[in-house]
């Protein structure tokens, strides 16, 4: 007899049937090996990934590489056994906010929020009506002193910034529920490095906001002759008073954009 098929996927449903009868350890091991191989074959196919079209044109080749095949198989297995955030349709939501050529500002985060109802594909952001987490509250606090007229929006959804060309990119795009950093070193860092590398090599005058040592390390691949780098401590309550408060990164970002002939960000548009 066969158990009901279970859908597990990073980006789409993948069904694998598992026998429910009594099997020897060797048979179970063989089934597990075959299951993983099947997941890798499915992930390797040219399956539609829910990524914005302009982004697909520029970085879509990453999906055909071996590391991404292994990553997809890992996430599929994680989704089978655990709750994983964000939901599959939100993993690449950052690519649907603006075209890749329209990116003006890049904020690098680490990995998604690991609690229910929080992660939705944009670093530091949470969907309405979820209350802003502490780091985002500190971002709002800095904005209130840096940008005249800024008002706390009463929510934590930063989609309004993303639609203006602020790329809110986590280095790792998924996480197991209640297990921060649980999906690190599985391939996401390679993928998001490829995103940053493409932006750095093909666009000019971007403003990269690197908050904390992790983001600053990831930002080492940015061409600093072509782009602007603003860096300080992370807005976390544990480090915000070590440089983030008073950094004026939001007004500095807009001044740099104006100098390059670009429209500044309306930080109030949330």
Output the pTM of the full model: 0.84
**Higher pLDDT among residues 40 and 130, named by residue:** 130
Which residue among 61, 81, 101 closes a domain?
81
Please, what is the end-to-end C-alpha distance for the chain in angstroms?
53
Q: How far apart are CA 23 and CA 17, in angstroms?
A: 15
Catalytic residue among 77, 102, 111, 146: 111
Q: Check pLDDT > 70 for residue 9.
A: no
State the DSSP string of 148-206.
TT----SS---HHHHTTTEEEEESS--EETTBTTTTTTSSHHHHHHHHHHHHHHH--S-
142 and 180 fall within a common domain: yes
Q: Check pLDDT > 90 for residue 149.
A: yes
Question: How far is CA 215 from its chain centroid?
Answer: 13
Which residue among 53, 81, 109 closes a domain?
81
Which residue among 13, 46, 81 closes a domain?
81
162 and 129 fall within a common domain: yes
Q: Check pLDDT > 90 for residue 100.
A: yes
Q: Check pLDDT > 70 for residue 113.
A: yes
Looking at the chain, the whole-number percentage of residues with pLDDT higher than 90 is 81
266 and 141 fall within a common domain: yes
**Higher pLDDT among residues 261 and 1, named by residue:** 261
Q: How confident is the model over 196-224, as a mean pLDDT?
A: 96
Q: How far apart are CA 183 and CA 71, in angstroms?
A: 9
φ and ψ at residue 151, rounded to 5 degrees: -125, 135
73 and 107 fall within a common domain: no
Q: Check pLDDT > 80 for residue 41.
A: no
Residues 6+ apart with CB under 8 A from 175: 84, 85, 111, 112, 113, 114, 119, 181, 182, 183
In the structure, what pLDDT confidence band is assigned to residue 8 with cuts at 50, 70 and 90? very low
191 and 238 fall within a common domain: yes
User: What pLDDT, on a 0 to 100 scale, did the predictor assign at position 50?
Assistant: 86
Alpha helices in 45-151 (DSSP H): 53-59, 66-81, 134-146
93 and 73 fall within a common domain: no
Q: Is the preceding omega at residue 182 within 30 degrees of 0, hence cis?
A: no
171 and 68 fall within a common domain: no
44 and 148 fall within a common domain: no
**Higher pLDDT among residues 9 and 64, named by residue:** 64
DSSP 20: -
| CATH code (residue 253) | 3.40.470.10
Strand-pairing partners, residue 57, are none
77 catalytic, yes or no?
Answer: no
220 and 152 fall within a common domain: yes
134 and 218 fall within a common domain: yes
pLDDT tens digits for 167-181?
A: 999 999 999 999 999
User: What pLDDT, on a 0 to 100 scale, did the predictor assign at position 93?
Assistant: 97
Task: Give the count of domains, the chain.
Answer: 2
Q: How far apart are CA 177 and CA 194, in angstroms?
A: 26
2 and 74 fall within a common domain: yes
Average pLDDT over the chain, rounded to an integer? 89
The parent domain of residue 26 ranges over 1-81
User: What pLDDT, on a 0 to 100 scale, did the predictor assign at position 218?
Assistant: 92
92 and 75 fall within a common domain: no
Q: How confident is the model over 146-173, as a mean pLDDT?
A: 97
């Amino acid at each position: 007899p066969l158990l009901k098929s279970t859908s597990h996927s990073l980006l789409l449903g993948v069904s694998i049937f598992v026998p429910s009868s009594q099997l020897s350890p060797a048979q179970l091991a063989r089934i597990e090996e075959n299951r993983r191989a099947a997941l890798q074959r499915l992930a390797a196919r040219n399956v539609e990934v829910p990524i914005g079209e302009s982004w697909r044109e520029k970085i879509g080749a990453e999906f055909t590489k071996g590391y991404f095949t292994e990553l997809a198989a890992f996430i599929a297995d994680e989704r089978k056994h655990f709750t994983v955030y964000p939901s599959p349709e939100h993993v690449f939501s950052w690519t649907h906010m603006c075209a890749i050529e329209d990116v003006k500002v890049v904020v690098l985060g680490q990995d998604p929020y690991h609690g229910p109802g929080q992660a939705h594909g944009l670093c530091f952001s949470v969907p309405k009506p979820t209350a802003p987490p502490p780091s985002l509250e500190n971002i709002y606090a800095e904005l209130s002193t840096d940008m005249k007229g800024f008002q706390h929006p009463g929510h934590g959804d930063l989609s309004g910034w993303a639609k203006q060309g602020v790329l809110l990119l986590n280095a790792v795009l998924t996480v197991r529920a209640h297990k921060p950093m649980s999906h690190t070193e599985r391939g996401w860092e390679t993928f998001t490095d490829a995103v940053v590398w493409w932006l750095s090599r093909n666009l000019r005058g971007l403003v990269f906001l690197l908050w904390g040592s992790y983001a600053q390390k990831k930002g080492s691949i940015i061409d600093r002759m072509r782009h602007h780098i603003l860096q300080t401590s992370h807005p976390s309550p544990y480090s915000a008073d070590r440089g983030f408060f008073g950094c004026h990164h939001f007004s500095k970002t807009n001044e740099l954009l104006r100098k390059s002939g670009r429209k500044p960000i309306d930080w109030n548009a949330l």
